[in-house]
Amino acid sequence: MELITNTVLQYISLPQTNYALQINGAWGTGKTYYVKNKLKTAIEDESSSNGQVFKFCYISLNGFSSVEQIGEAVFFEIANTKNQLAVQGLKFLGKYGSGLAGIFANVEQSVANVTEDIINKIKSSSTDVLSNIVLCFDDLERIDDSLSIKQVFGFINSNYIEHHHVKVIFISNEQEIEDQENYKIIREKVIGKTLNFFQSESTILEDIVFNVYAENENFIFFFEKEKRNLLQVINFVFEDINLRTLRFVLDSFVILQSEVYSFCKDEKERHEISKTLFLNTLIVGNEYKKGNLSSVKDLSFLYGLSYFYYFPSNKESEEDYAQKFLKRYHRLNDFIDHNVYYFSAVSNYIINGYINNDEFKKEVNSLLEKRNREKLKRTGEENPIEILREYWMYDEEKVKHAQDEVLNRIKENLYLANEYPNLYNLFLMFRNENLIITEEKNVEGVLETGFTKALERWKPTAKLDFWDLNMNQSDGKFQKIIDRLKQKEKEIDYRERKDKVSIWLKAVIQDSVEADMFNNIEHEKDFFKILLDLNFTDEFLNQSSAFIVEMTRFLHHKYLRIINSYEFHSHEIPYIDQLINQVEDYLRDYSEDKIKKHNLYRFMEQLEKVKIHVGKGDNTN
């Protein structure tokens, strides 16, 4: 890219030119990104001969259907206006055609109603204004069918290149220009030199990551740690790298990674999941963008598997999609085969555009649990816990080794929190039988520390059945483990339910409630407690009247239409009282909108009705 940059800088340094430059290259190779992020900076850092700094003006011709639109776009790029009223005023004047020089010559009159910011930027002489301008026209091949390439070149050449010697750069993929015959004839008259754009895939990727995602610390940290593997696997997956597909993949991954980091706190687990998530997103995203996927079910042959094998198809019949997919991506790349895992929630996000957070979380936690168990299996032929459970079948040295092995695995955080009741129970049994023969002097301390760490990172993948625990030995510490597990399970469950209510409230505000959002909270048993925890009066009562009306209706649907509502919600009465008091306090100082105030009173009356109803009252209106 340095050669292109130097050539462009040499071009703009010439005192007067009567030709344009062209940067030509295939779609998806990073031309536009290079121009906007590197060439623009290089040009604006280059001082012109009179000491003034060049102004780089970028105009995409995509969809332009008239030359007047070109003149309009150039004017506003030079003016650099952000005042939309001024823009509309100038459109009303209708001065965008070939008389652009007149606009600049009489700028005080032409933009009389434009903000002072624009007036200060545009000088009284068009020559003064245009002498330090570099116009960059991108997407030459994407003009509307109603506008010919001849008209575009003619307008730009006449108004800028020949008459004012403006420095002009065209960015294009000339292979995609339809009118090739006229294009080749006119190009010779307008373009002095064509610079072919080539850029390595690794350079493109690194530029995008460190510029576009610079503020995403989690992604940058992951990319830097796995850069060599990621570059290699991207080149493997993409036959020809396409920036739009790459950006789609990276954008999707960043969103999915942030979701994982919201519930996964262990650094090692985060990194491992990031690797499989990146590969999952890369491969499925590539397939989707190629048009090979239309439904999440198209990849049903992948979900839940850790190893992928394909079998040769019958030569007399065509291969099905599963065979083609597996041949394309598997048993050819070690990094993929060792790390990838396909989540149906990821496919759903890529194909349908939304993610089911609960399903995604469940799939991730299930994979983590599965991999932890595989680690345990790989460390030895016999499971040390099974040896301890049937200790009477082994000699002392074998049991001692099994006790040492279990305690070492506890120190390495290889057990899940819900496995600790049985672990503690085993060692409690050995203590009571005076059979603790490990060299570890502080068995209870190791168990306590291990359980505390495991509990911090525990994410239940299903409701824990405490009756399924082996309780042949028990003491106070054992019961504390059970109590702490139950408490953590409640906290996680409540936090998840709280998040669902929050998502629903925000969707009500934006009028974008989907069926699953409503279903998630329709039968919530701690609705009012959650509202209080979400600071409902401070965070949500300042919303529109429509929001307050919708909340009033919802209370009727959730509580008042259910005859035996008190059987499920009587425990909410103290929280309803708190909310009523908060709404009363809010109304005491509220005087902005009479309609909204009226709706707020109706909302408070509805709260009173709900309170009576869930307290076995008769008011069901």
What's the confidence (pLDDT) of residue 130? 74
Instruction: For residue 23, give Cα distances in angstroms to 3, 136, 340, 397.
Output: 12, 10, 39, 76
What are phi and psi for residue 135, nearest 5 degrees?
-95, 125
Q: What's the longest Cα–Cα distance across the chain?
A: 102
Question: CB of 125 within 8 A of CB of 105?
Answer: yes
Q: 195 φ, ψ to 5°?
A: -105, 115
Q: How far apart are CA 11 and CA 42, in angstroms?
A: 13
Q: In this predicted structure, what is the pLDDT of residue 79?
A: 74
pLDDT higher at 145 or 200: 145
486 has pLDDT over 80? yes
The CA-CA-CA angle for residues 389, 391, 396, to 5°, reads 145
Average pLDDT score over the chain:
83
Q: Are 541 and 585 in contact (CB under 8 A)?
A: no
**For residues 496 and 30, which has the higher predicted lDDT (pLDDT)?**
496
Residue 471 banded pLDDT, cuts 50, 70, 90: low
Tell me what pLDDT residue 226 has.
Answer: 94
More confident residue, 547 or 520: 547
pLDDT band at 119 (very low <50, low <70, confident <90, very high): very low
Q: Is 294 helix (H, G, I), strand (E, B) or coil?
A: coil
Least confident stretch, 84-93, 214-223, 304-313: 84-93
Residue scoring higher pLDDT (198 or 108)? 198
Distance of alpha carbon 529 from alpha carbon 497, whole angstroms? 11
CB within 8 Å of 107: residues ≥ 6 apart: 119, 122, 123, 124
The stretch 298-326 carries a mean pLDDT of: 73
Rounded Cα distance between 374 and 176, Å, is 52
> In the prediction, which pLDDT does 75 show?
85
What confidence tens digit (pLDDT) does each residue in 422-469 have?
899 889 989 988 999 998 999 999 999 999 999 988 877 656 655 445
pLDDT the model gives residue 128: 56
CA–CA separation, 467 and 486 (whole Å):
12
pLDDT of residue 377: 63
Cα–Cα dist 439/209, whole Å: 51
Q: Give me the pLDDT at residue 50, please.
A: 53
| pLDDT of 30 strictly over 70 | yes
Q: At residue 212, does pLDDT exceed 70?
A: yes
What digits encode the pLDDT tens for the residues 587-605?
Answer: 988 888 899 999 999 999 9
| Mean pLDDT of the 378-399 span | 82
**What mean pLDDT comes out for the span 88-92?**
47
Distance CA 9, CA 49 (A): 12
Contacts 24+ apart (CB under 8 A), 402-407: 403/427, 403/430, 403/436, 403/437, 403/438, 403/440, 404/438, 404/439, 404/440, 405/379, 405/380, 407/438, 407/440, 407/443, 407/446
Can you give the pLDDT at residue 105?
Answer: 43
Using CA atoms, how far residue 417 sits from 379, 444, 461, 490, in Å, is 20, 15, 12, 14
Can you name the residues that pair with 194 across neighbouring β-strands?
Answer: 22
In three-state secondary structure terms, 196 is strand
Lowest mean pLDDT among 43-47, 539-543, 555-559: 43-47
pLDDT of 515 reads 83
Provide the whole-model pTM: 0.47
The CA–CA distances, whole Å, from 372 to 119, 151, 365, 517, 544 equal 67, 66, 11, 33, 49
In this predicted structure, what is the pLDDT of residue 37? 84
The whole-number average pLDDT for the span 258-279 is 93
**In 477-510, which positions are buried (b, 16+ CB within 10 angstroms) versus exposed (e)?**
ebeebbeebeebbeeeeeeebbbbbbbbbeebee
User: What is the C-alpha to C-alpha distance for residues 244 and 28, in angstroms, rounded to an integer?
Assistant: 6
Which amino acid is present at 261? Y
Which pLDDT belongs to residue 310?
54
Question: According to the model, what pLDDT value does residue 97 have?
Answer: 39
pLDDT digits (tens, 9 = 90+) for 335-367: 998 899 999 999 999 999 989 888 899 899 889
**Closest by CA position to 143, among listed 72, 74, 73, 62:** 62
Give the length of the chain.
621
Q: Which residues make beta-bridge pairs with 169?
A: 21, 136
- What is residue 100's predicted lDDT score, i.e. its pLDDT? 43
Please say if the pLDDT value at position 104 is more than 60.
no
**Does residue 548 carry a pLDDT above 90?**
yes
Kind and range of the H or E element at 169? strand 167-172
Q: What is the mean pLDDT of residues 167-173?
A: 93
Residues 6+ apart with CB under 8 A from 154: 67, 186
Residue-wise pLDDT for 245-257, tens only, equals 889 999 999 999 9
Query: In this predicted model, which residue has the larger pLDDT, 203 or 81?
Result: 203
- The CA distance from 522 to 503, in Å, is 13
Q: Is the pLDDT of residue 379 over 60?
A: no
Question: Do strands 167-172 and 20-24 pair parallel, antiparallel, or not at all (unpaired)?
Answer: parallel
Higher pLDDT: 222 or 130? It is: 222
**Worst-scoring range by mean pLDDT, 128-132, 322-326, 592-596, 600-604?**
128-132
d(CA 576, CA 516): 26
pLDDT at 461: 65
Which comes out higher in pLDDT, residue 94 or 219?
219
Q: What is the pLDDT of residue 25?
A: 85
Mean local confidence (pLDDT), 86-114: 43
What is the C-alpha to C-alpha distance for residues 131 and 154, in angstroms, rounded to an integer?
Answer: 20
Report how far apart, in Å, the C-alpha atoms of 612 and of each of 516, 521, 569, 608, 616 are.
Answer: 29, 22, 11, 6, 7
3-class DSSP state for residue 170?
Answer: strand
Residue 511: strand, helix, or coil: coil
What Rg, from alpha-carbon coordinates, does the chain have?
34
CA distances to 431, 537, 542 from 479, rounded to whole Å, are: 17, 40, 46
Dihedral angle computed from the Cα positions of residues 177, 178, 180 and 186, in that order, rounded to the nearest 10 degrees: -70
pLDDT in tens, 32-77: 878 988 899 898 887 655 566 788 999 999 999 999 999 888 888 8
> Cα separations (Å) of 100 from 81, 136, 206?
17, 17, 41
As a three-state string, the secondary structure of 478-498 is HHHHHHHHHHHHHHHHHHHHH
pLDDT for position 617: 54
